[in-house]
Structure 1
Amino acid sequence: KLVTDNLSRRQVRRVETPAGPVELRGRTMTLAGEELFLAPAAMLLFRALFDAGGAVVPREALARLLSQSGSSHALDMAVNRLRNALPNPDLVQTVVKRGYRLRAERA
């Protein structure tokens, strides 16, 4: 029990956002202490944005995460679904002609 408790604490990743702290722990995401359940494609996109720590993730890279064809339309739909699943859709920002970024607070 002690080993699993310690491992679960160590694998929590956290970033501050304007909507509150976001924590990722395995397949679980919490925003400002509230647990959110995202569809697999939305979680995949969110993880990529989260891992970038506020940096822009190119559209092409995100599209390839979703499918080998890298469909721009599929990416647009997936980002729209992700935004709709979040309590604050503005957490995912569009960077025109470049990609998307998570609105992370600078330390």
Structure 2
Amino acid sequence: MNFFVYILRCSNGAYYVGSHRGQDVETRLHQHNEGADPKAFTYRYRPVELLWSCQFDDPTDMVAFEQQLKGWSRKKKEAFMRSDWAELKQLSKSRTAPAIHEKGRFYLSTQGGLSTRSS
């Protein structure tokens, strides 16, 4: 089983962050566009376009990163999708941000990319 976190752009321009357990993220994209669940947020804003996805080995990491992304601002998500680590770091500076040692968080490595530990 594969585990994915993904970001979609909806027809109204909103970003949707989701996760999927399955063979590939394209299957989930198809389900969103077919309107498989009329109660889903994306149902009203079809078609949706896949902007970014990442595969995880561990479902716990998948859920933790999905929740982290859902809490980010639009600008922060855009910087992340562009791999603009400098802007992402700047956008992450906040007095109300969780402590860097908080369990279940992902961090930017010094080379860019994700890590489950702060460096």
TM more than 0.5: no
Q: Larger relative contact order (C-alpha < 8 A, sep ≥ 6)? A: 1
Q: Which structure has more helix as a fraction of its residues? A: 1
Rg comparison, structure with higher value = 2
Tell me which interval the TM-score lies in, with the shorter structure as reference length: 0.3 to 0.5
